[in-house]
Amino acid sequence: MANGDTFADAYPTQARHIRAAFWASFLSLGVGAFFGLIQALHRTDILRVIESQTYYTVLTAHGVFLVISFTIFFLVGVFQWAVTDSLERPPVDMRFTWGWYGLMSLGASLTAFAILAGFTDSIDVSADVLFTFYAPLQAHPLFYVGLVVFVVGTWLAGADWFRSWLAWKGDNPGERIPLPTFMVLTTMIMWYISSIGVAVAILAFILPWSLELTGSLNPTLTRTLFWYFGHPVVYFWLLPAYLLWYILLPKLAGGRLFSDPLARVVFILFVLLSTPVGIHHQYLDPGISEGFKFIAMTNTMFLLLPSLLTAFTIIASMEHGARQRGGEGYFNWLTALPWRDPAFTGMALAGMIFAFGGFTGIVNAGMNINYLVHNTLWVPGHIHTQVGTAAALTFMAGAYWLVPQLTGNRLVGRSVALVQVVLWFVGIVFMTNSMYRGGLVGMPRRTAEPQYEGFEYEVAAGSVGELNAQLAVGGTLLFVSAMLFLALMVLTAFNGGTEPIDDGSIPPALSGPEDSPAVLDNLKLWVAIAAVLVVIAYSFPLASIVSRGGLFGPDIGPIPVAIDAASTVARTALEAVAAVVR
């Protein structure tokens, strides 16, 4: 792309497509944030505009609109931008590109309809199954059909990017894959490997069951298939944020990415490690033996590595940028960073919150301390620091830079945008502080009316009233922040006849791709290793679940398999003894 051009100048048709993806994303953010506010005020009994019976409908809408629609529409937009910009070529066939966007929109609309219809009695459709949607909760078939169509749309999007890359490779034999495209391709590999699990769960078991074609199913099996996908999907939300941290943040800081090879290693590690860990969401599930849970725990702890490498690379890049801008000293360079730029500040704050979420993630991952926080408000606390801020705030901040590039218009209200990102930060600190602490004293999640009356309820510090107030205040600030963001985006879209402040060019890394071993670009090799790891982690647990519960259920009791074997031996022995005695 020529210097001084925006993306919209260079690729007008593609920019229109990416804008369409962003609008779908932003619309979902607005709807999801609205439901978030309702929940925050309802469960703290500050304002109840819905019946408590409707709480699950709201919670399902909140979860699905935000973690499926908002995040994934945004990420396909970013990925399309990253691939086109870094390969310097448009998609091979734009009709195909619009095709997958159309499928995703259709799927999202069907699912949204199934959820929202739950608010009225006049249509006999509902989907109060939460964003985890596994059995025994059951939704109207439309909900699952929509999800499948949506996911197939993302698969085709990935195919589109692989196709662009192959076309580029034909013209540039022997060259290293440009880093942004490398990140997109590896993320999609991870997505293919993991989303196949949820596709099987829905198509083979949940959908036929909700259509009443099959009378029963094996709940442990669908839960396990769900979490097989349910953990990697969190990296699907996170890796686009990583992409922006690696590609955009160093530039915004005034410098260059510290190390391209390290970035490649991080993405490969995610391909290898994100899938064989899902059982860490099932520590309290009966029917999966402790040993498999232990393996999942060890694998999970390895995932710290790419996160720590990322923290190192990003901070080193920011320091480099600050020193280019005249920053000095051990810590004083921090003051030389462009803190008035909402895109930079938003991403930096999101990164800080992510570190916090990482520490609490270690708590969740530990088999023993997980028992303390399981299904308490601690878990939404963790969710909101990670996808709800590390990803969401990075996306919003990124949009402050990307949307001007995609429209050719100048961002409206830069200083309001700065207030917006800081407001999100303050809101999330309040809300998650309350959620974490509430969780530690046992407040449940997913509960419309948690009651703390009629018995002694000691909180280590503060009071239940104070925790509730923090949750409500934090949630309200978040809602206001989201609305500000949407307003600025709409105004910017209509701010024609202006030009973005920044040109769209991305500076090369300090240590470029030539410094990284060529094997990192051997995608087939990594797919093969990832597949082996998945087979090792999942074949035995799945076999044991199916052998005891049957493919279509009914599932049986809470007996760990290790004990199963022992008890069979013991029973046989006892029967033998009994026979002899008789």
If contact means CB under 5 to 8 A according to the sort of partner, which of Cu ion, ligand HEM, none does residue 130 touch? ligand HEM
Tally DSSP H helices, then E strands, for the chain: 22, 0
* DSSP letter, residue 405: H
Closest approach, Cβ 514 to Cu ion, in A, equals: 36
Closest approach, Cβ 380 to ligand HEM, in A, equals: 4
Q: How far is CA 499 from CA 253, 338, 339, in A?
A: 21, 20, 22
Give me the helices (H) in 274-341, please: 290-302, 304-324
Please, which residues bridge with residue 444 across strands?
A: 376
Residue nearest to ligand HEM (CB): 36
Among 15, 21, 59, 343, binds ligand HEM (CB under 6 A): 59
Among 320, 382, 384, 437, binds ligand HEM (CB under 6 A): 384
Please tell me the number of Cα atoms within 13 Å of 172 on its side-chain side.
13
If contact means CB under 5 to 8 A according to the sort of partner, which of ligand HEM, Cu ion, none does residue 475 touch? ligand HEM
Q: With binding defined as CB under 5 A, does residue 231 bind Cu ion?
A: yes
Closest approach, Cβ 59 to ligand HEM, in A, equals: 5
Distance CA 180, CA 183 (A): 5
Among 1, 125, 130, 464, binds ligand HEM (CB under 6 A): 130
Contact present, 186 and 253 (Cβ < 8 Å):
no
Closest approach, Cβ 287 to ligand HEM, in A, equals: 22
Q: How far is CA 412 from CA 321, 417, 418, in A?
A: 26, 8, 11
* DSSP letter, residue 68: I
Closest approach, Cβ 75 to ligand HEM, in A, equals: 12
Distance CA 78, CA 188 (A): 13
CA angle 41–451–439, rounded 5-degree value = 75
Interaction pattern, residues 464-483, with ligand HEM; x per rule: CB under 6 A: -----------x--xx--x-
**Region from 66-74, 257-265, 308-316, 368-376 binding ligand HEM, contact rule CB under 6 A:** 66-74
Distance CA 153, CA 479 (A): 30
Closest approach, Cβ 557 to ligand HEM, in A, equals: 27
If contact means CB under 5 to 8 A according to the sort of partner, which of ligand HEM, Cu ion, none does residue 63 touch? ligand HEM
Q: With binding defined as CB under 6 A, does residue 446 bind ligand HEM?
A: yes
* DSSP letter, residue 140: -
If contact means CB under 5 to 8 A according to the sort of partner, which of ligand HEM, Cu ion, none does residue 231 touch? Cu ion
Residue with tokens 């506010």: 37
Closest approach, Cβ 292 to ligand HEM, in A, equals: 25
Query: Site residues for ligand HEM, window 404-433 (CB under 6 A)?
Result: none
Sign of the torsion angle spanned by Cα atoms 119, 124, 127, 129: positive
Query: Site residues for Cu ion, window 341-370 (CB under 5 A)?
Result: none
Burial of 18 (0-12, 13-18, 19+ CB in 10 A): buried
Q: With binding defined as CB under 6 A, does residue 62 bind ligand HEM?
A: yes
Q: With binding defined as CB under 6 A, does residue 37 bind ligand HEM?
A: yes
Q: With binding defined as CB under 6 A, does residue 293 bind ligand HEM?
A: no
Q: Report whether the peptide linkage leading into residue 136 is cis, meaning its omega lies within 30 degrees of zero.
A: yes
If contact means CB under 5 to 8 A according to the sort of partner, which of Cu ion, ligand HEM, none does residue 67 touch? ligand HEM
Interaction pattern, residues 68-87, with ligand HEM; x per rule: CB under 6 A: --xx----------------
Q: How far is CA 142 from CA 104, 110, 219, in A?
A: 14, 6, 20
Amino acid identity at 311: A
| Closer residue to ligand HEM, CB minimum distance, 60 or 187 | 60
Amino acid identity at 253: A
Residues that bind Cu ion (CB under 5 A): 231
Point out which residues bind ligand HEM (CB under 6 A): 33, 36-37, 39-40, 43, 59, 62-63, 66-67, 70-71, 130-131, 380, 383-384, 387-388, 392, 445-447, 475, 478-479, 482
